[in-house]
Amino acid sequence: MKGQRVETQNLKSQDLSKQAQRRIRRSILGAYLAAAKAHGAKTEILTDGDGRVLTYGEITRAAFALSSPLAKKTDRKENVGILLPTGAGAVISLLSVHAAGRTPAMLNFTAGAKNLKSACQTAEIKKVITAHKFVELGGLAPLIAELETFVELVYLEDLREEIGLGAKIKAVLGPILPGLMVPSASPDDTGVILFTSGTEGNPKGVVLSHANILANVEQISEHVEIEDTDIFFNPLPTFHCYGLTAGTLWPLLDGNPVVLHPSPLQTKTIAQRIFDSQATILWATDTFVQQYMRASSEEGLKSLRIAVCGAERVREETRKAAEEKFSFVVLEGYGVTECSPVLAANQPGDIRGGTIGKLLPGLEARLEPVEGLEDAGCLWVKGPNVMKGYISPDNPGEIMPIEGGWHNTGDVVSVDEDGYCIIRGRIKRFAKIGGEMVSLTVVENCASAVWPNYMHAAAILPDKRKGEQIVLVTDYKDPKRHELLTWAQSHGVPEIAVPKKILSVKDVPVLGTGKLDYVSVTAMAKEAMGVD
């Protein structure tokens, strides 16, 4: 396929096992209760941010107990927002919403009041669960004051005070007789609502069924082999699908202990907690792994066996530092919220540099042609983990199903002869300069190679002569274009991919999910270039 225009390339991964296909035909709460029964109520499964260790039984009783007062405050199948950091509170809240027969919607507390209001209006959320302690520790009083103008806030501490005799009975009988104590839920009912980042307008609701989430758990389980002794460490937010499905629900449903941390930004604390817990599997992004390694003592991350990174490209220098300094392997995964989210990942013992590995089991995919590009196409996917549909801000509460079950990821991908996928960039992250398509990902990769251990982001700005231009934003203090150009020329990268303008800033902005904040990056570039 090299040197030729991609027509439509059809791809198919191996099938999900029949056992896995059966396991996804239940609810998230049902899958959790089955795991709790299989592994035992007394099994310690979750360590919270404050070091408190909870058993399956404690989580289950808390979820059922809270579901009673929550049910009194809400209507059947109502969408209930959850505004909490990664931790036991978020897990118990999600399960309690299901136990009450309602639908959880995970809200991004870093998104700002405007985006939160839009998300609540889009998903018709009238009540939001949060916690006084979280608001106090997070300094969120101003945000909460704004939220209170358009939703009713329900505090976990207050719900606990409202647990009466009926709720206590439900906490005891619920795990034993869930069929009698919990409203029935079809696997195809909405299991959770998440939201797009809002970088291209108001956030859209992404509607994932119970089966979507459970399918992705099964797909990950069959693709990435783990050991019975593995301990997971997850600092990623549960309002982001990667942190919710892979980092939180997978270990809970699979029976592996998980250590949860409320923020990925607390680098020194996280390095220490990994050491203290002797965690073996870390969920993170390339940027965060770099920061944790820098913040760690020589022995701090030695317990790690694997770091699974998503949301951004894994740099070779990250892999090299992890292996040489701490002896753990960095796997790169790829996914999108609309697919619950994981679509492909490297596997231990099978890492091909520069790729995101092979597609997970149970997926069909196709590459559609992209004008101006060769050897790659736009990735479309279909499978049991692909969402029910979007909720648009223009049609609040109404699920718009995707046509034929196919989702357009918006990512440009190529696939080698052995089935390994290479992300070439997002369609919207290609600049057209003098009629040629230039990937901003290539620009950023060049900068990372020349100035490792720093953050780099490329932005597209208009150009009167050539249509568009690229500006590189970096936190490297003294970037010289000729250094980039020399590297590019010696590695076969065309000169057109070397930006003429490089902007050095104190900090390259990052979203709460760990992804680069390209809206802010572009605003920085526009201001520096005097572009409206």
Residue 410: is its pLDDT beyond 80?
A: yes
- 170-179 pLDDT, tens digit each: 877 777 777 7
Residue 129 within a domain: yes
Residue 488: is its pLDDT beyond 50?
A: yes
Average pLDDT over residues 98-113: 94
Among residues 286, 325, 321, 328, the alpha carbon closest in space to that of 303 is found at 328
Instruction: Identify whether residues 106 and 215 lie together within a single domain.
Output: yes
Highest mean pLDDT pick, 271-275, 413-417, 436-440: 271-275
Residue 6: is its pLDDT beyond 60?
A: no
> How many other CB atoms sit within 10 Å of the CB of residue 124?
14
Residue 3 within a domain: no
Instruction: Identify whether residues 239 and 366 lie together within a single domain.
Output: yes
**Residues in Cβ contact with 132 at an 8 Å cutoff, skipping those fewer than 6 apart:** 155, 157
CATH number, domain containing residue 289 = 3.40.50.12780
Q: How far apart are CA 69 and CA 423, in angstroms?
A: 47
- 246-265 pLDDT, tens digit each: 999 999 999 999 999 999 98
Residue 140 within a domain: yes
Instruction: Identify whether residues 410 and 439 lie together within a single domain.
Output: no
At which residue do the structure tokens 């918006």 appear?
A: 410
pLDDT in the model for residue 2: 38
Residue 423: is its pLDDT beyond 70?
A: yes
Instruction: Identify whether residues 301 and 172 lie together within a single domain.
Output: yes
Instruction: Identify whether residues 489 and 341 lie together within a single domain.
Output: no
Average pLDDT over residues 177-186: 78
Residue 79 within a domain: yes
- 58-99 pLDDT, tens digit each: 999 999 999 999 999 999 889 999 999 999 999 999 999 999
Q: How far apart are CA 37 and CA 55, in angstroms?
A: 12
> How many other CB atoms sit within 10 Å of the CB of residue 18?
8
User: Of 415, 449, 468, which residue constitutes the final position of a domain?
Assistant: 415
Average pLDDT over residues 157-182: 80
Q: Which range marks the domain in which residue 479 is found?
A: 434-529
Residue 6 within a domain: no
Instruction: Identify whether residues 459 and 386 lie together within a single domain.
Output: no
pLDDT in the model for residue 199: 52
Instruction: Identify whether residues 464 and 347 lie together within a single domain.
Output: no
Residue 1 within a domain: no
> How many other CB atoms sit within 10 Å of the CB of residue 350?
10
Instruction: Identify whether residues 332 and 300 lie together within a single domain.
Output: yes
User: Of 415, 450, 468, which residue constitutes the final position of a domain?
Assistant: 415
pLDDT in the model for residue 434: 67
Range in 17-21, 201-205, 456-460, 525-529 with the lowest mean pLDDT: 201-205
221-227, long-range: CB within 8 Å, 24+ apart, which pairs? 221/20, 221/250, 221/254, 222/16, 222/17, 222/20, 222/360, 222/361, 223/345, 223/347, 223/360, 223/361, 224/308, 224/331, 224/345, 224/347, 224/348, 225/347, 225/348, 226/254, 226/256, 226/281, 227/280, 227/305
What does the buried/exposed string (b/e) look like for 144-169 if buried means 16 or more CB atoms within 10 Å of the residue's CB? beebeeebebbbbeebeeebeeebee
Phi and psi, residue 343, nearest 5° = -115, -30
Q: Are 196 and 337 in contact (CB under 8 A)?
A: yes
CATH number, domain containing residue 486 = 3.30.300.30
Instruction: Identify whether residues 307 and 210 lie together within a single domain.
Output: yes
Instruction: Identify whether residues 411 and 463 lie together within a single domain.
Output: no
Instruction: Identify whether residues 107 and 248 lie together within a single domain.
Output: yes
Is the link from the previous residue into 462 a cis peptide, with omega within 30 of 0? no
**Residues in Cβ contact with 391 at an 8 Å cutoff, skipping those fewer than 6 apart:** 122, 123, 193, 204, 205, 207, 397, 398, 399, 400
Taken in order 493, 496, 502, 508, the sign of the CA dihedral is negative
Range in 13-27, 332-346, 504-518 with the lowest mean pLDDT: 504-518
Residue 428 within a domain: no
pLDDT in the model for residue 513: 64
Q: How far apart are CA 144 and CA 151, in angstroms?
A: 10
Instruction: Identify whether residues 333 and 455 lie together within a single domain.
Output: no
Residue 425 within a domain: no
Specify the number of domains making up the chain.
Answer: 2
